[in-house]
Structure 1
Amino acid sequence: MPRSNKRKWHELDLLCRTGAGIAAIAPTACRLLRELVGADAGALFWMDEAGLPEGFFHEDSPASARDLFLNEFERLFLGPQELNVATLARLTGSGAGHLLAPPPAYYRSNTFNLLVRASSHRHALDLRIDHEGRPRVIVLLFRAGAKAFDESDLAILKGAAGPLRRCLGGGEFAEVWEPTAMRGHVLVDRSGETLLMMSEAAQQILQRTSSVGQDIQVDGPLSTPPRFIRQLCQTLEAGGDSRGLLAMPHGRLVVTPEPMLTPAGEPSAVLITVQTETPRSLRLIERLLTLELSPRQRSIVLAAALGQDRAEVAARTETSPEALKKHLGAIYRRTGVRSWEAMAQMLDH
């Protein structure tokens, strides 16, 4: 295996050991798998309990195709001729390779013509990841040219099953979420059904969530509140805890509603604050990969940076005390730090 590919598998393994979740790592996972297999583009879909797509990340689909997938999925893409992520979630037997040689009807389907071909692709390769008895993730890779995918490409893609399944299990570390500069506001009526005002930042944030069935148009301005905002307003009206979290590519969305009152003290509207957060672990991994360390040494540094002590790191990385001491000596020499505490903090600087 080329050294560059070993590095990509190592990066995917590190990502999937964090507690960031599938949606947050989706953009980087797509890039790594696209490069490993030699595809033109990648997409990753996280599925709901009914086996339907809840959200997704696609590297190069146009806004018009994303709009159809996000807002018209059940109407356009659940027919008997369709072969897509919902179909792949239901198929029994092998969880991979169903699109290597699709039936002729596939090329007449809405899925192919409105989504795949609209993104300038023709060939596709699929991998389904099951966890706790149900499909949780579908990975798709695409090629536009004459070269179709083959069994050797499929064998490479299957190598991602283990790491991605580990990610679905919650990873190995408690995640710390860091607020970003992306923050906006939405003003709706008390029911959440009518959009009164929206900041430009809020619209940009909402259009990046890639959440299916939320009535969020990505190919033009939003004219109605997303479904999750309507649900939060209903919960707020009933006196419940209405703060919401929504998984999205690169991180998560924190949604906080606040009742607005008239000068007379009467409830009149709800101000929704939307704030994106990113996982600290992904920032640390990006910094970690710039260091000239071995895969085992990177795993040690990351575990220490995420709060593990020496004994926990040795157990987690299956490293004996003697070997850990040698690895630490090499890490200290290559990075210039002189203690465990300094090593644990260096990725934050």
Structure 2
Amino acid sequence: MPASAASIAAARQRQWHALGMLCGLGLGLAPIAPEVCAALRALVGADAAALFWLDAQGRPEGFFHEDSPAEVQDLFLNEFERLFAGPDEVNVHTLARADGPRIGRLMAPDAQYLRSNSYNLLVRASGHRHTLDLRVEADGRTRAIVMLFRASGASFTADDAALLERSAGWLARAFERPIGNDCNQAGGPGGPLGHVVLDAAGQRPLYADETAAQLLRQSNLAGLGLHAAAGLVLPPDLPQRLGVAHAGAAARSAVPGGWLAASRLALHALAGGPAQHLLTLQLQRPLGVEVVRRVLALPLSPLQGDIALLAGLGHARADCHRLAGVSEAALKKHLRAIFAATGAADWEDLMQRLRR
């Protein structure tokens, strides 16, 4: 095999391995959306990728798009029902229905689609021309829609579609039970705290600092209306949307890169004035994703990477026989290579090095 072909094959295998590791964490697709989009774009060969996760009715709860302008994201998040849900629109909700093909519905679009708002205000407005779509199903329903885009040149082919369809099984694994004891917990570097002051009587937001505004913009949660506005205009039901309708409440929402954690605290009322509440926001990154990133940076074989990941996720050394399918003799050999690559002295040391 020529060197160039060999290097392409090795790079593609690495992307498959990364995709399998990330989806195997069982976090859902929102917290790993940036990594998943990057892997799929590289595997198939596209200019950009987007991932939409859906509620039980097949409506988009949120999304991650690698390069769409803020104005386009604002339209999708806040004007979906008005502009993109009509009978002539082929949108994310349409693609989520199980009565159509799982892969490639937009590869050869008809004239109706090319006249639609979905194409002209979203796809073309983002600088894209060709689209390859995939429906991700798990637990008996559609959980997500993947879209790959090319700006110009050759359209997507049947071979491209076959590559993307191969990823469907991995993507569905993201909705299965996590393989680690605590990979659904925050554990990576936490982001800065943002604050929103609420009017206690009406529970309406009065003020948000710049960190809170940035966190809300980056969360891509439907209905917040924050992307393209010249000034920050918070929705009056912001606490309810974030699941913190009452003082003392805490909740988190799955967003690109982790979870948007929200907590609510009642403040002391000033003399004679009404009490106010403080809403605190932070992006929490999953421990498992941080461990995967560290493992992928090591010079290990795919099997050795899988073994190292088990340590980083908190598994016992003995779990490797069942979860990685290796004998004790093979495990000792692989651990020697893993310890040499990481500088770890033993299994417990390896676990700590991959977590800190």
TM bucket, shorter chain: over 0.9
Contact 1:54–1:211 under 8 Å retained in 2: yes
Q: How many residues align?
A: 346
Within the candidate set 281, 292, 296, 1:289 is matched to 296
2:120 matches 1:143? no
Check conservation: 2:91, 2:118, Cα contact below 8 A: yes
Q: Structure 1, unaligned stretches of length 5 or more? A: none
- The equivalent residue for 1:90 is 97
Tell me, in whole angstroms, the C-alpha distance in 1 between the residues paired with 2:346 and 2:244.
Answer: 53
**Residue number in structure 1 paired with 2:239:** 229
- Separation in 1, partners of 2:202, 2:306: 46
CA distances 1:11-54 after superposition (whole Å, capped 9, x unpaired) = 11111111433111100110110111110000000001110000
CA distance in 1, matches of 2:61, 2:326: 39
Matching of residues 179-258 of structure 1 within 5 Å: 180-191=190-201, 194-225=204-235, 227-230=237-240, 235-236=245-246, 242-258=249-265
TM-score (norm 1): 0.93
CA distance in 2, matches of 1:200, 1:271: 15
Shift of residue 228, structure 1, vs aligned partner: 4.2
CA contact (8 A) 1:215 1:226 kept: no
**Inter-partner Cα distance in structure 2 for 1:124 and 1:198:** 38
Partner of 2:176: 169
Q: Secondary structure at the match of 1:2?
A: helix
> Deviation at 1:191?
5.0
- The alpha-carbon deviation at position 318 of structure 1 amounts to 1.5
Deviation at 1:181, TM superposition (A): 3.1
2:269 aligned partner, one-letter code: T
Distance 2:37 2:160 in 1: 15
1:325 to 1:232, Cα distance in 2 relative to 1, 3 A: closer
Aligned to 1:53: 60
Query: Could you tell me which residue of structure 1 aligns to residue 110 of structure 2?
Result: 103
Equivalent of residue 329 in structure 2, options 305, 322, 325: 322
* Mapped partners of 1:193, 1:105: distance in 2: 44
Distance 1:159 1:191 in 2: 53
- TM alignment of 1:21-170, pairs within 5 A: 21-170=28-177
Q: 2:216 is matched by which residue type in structure 1?
A: L
Q: Structure 2 counterpart of 1:196, which letter?
A: L
Alpha-carbon distance, 1:266 to partner: 7.0
CA displacement 1:128-181 (0-9 Å, x = unmatched): 111111110100000111211111000010121111111111331232303623
Q: Deviations over 1:40-78 (max 9, x none)?
A: 000000001110000000000001100000100011100
**SS at 2:42 equivalent:** helix
Q: Which residue of 2 aligns with 1:271?
A: 278
- Unmatched segments (≥5 aa) in structure 2: 1-7
2:204–2:238 contact (8 Å) kept in structure 1? no
TM-score (norm 2): 0.91
| Equivalent position SS for 2:135 | strand
Q: Distance in 2 between matches of 1:265 and 1:234?
A: 26
Over 3 Å off, 4+ runs: 191-194, 214-220, 225-228, 230-235, 263-267, 333-336
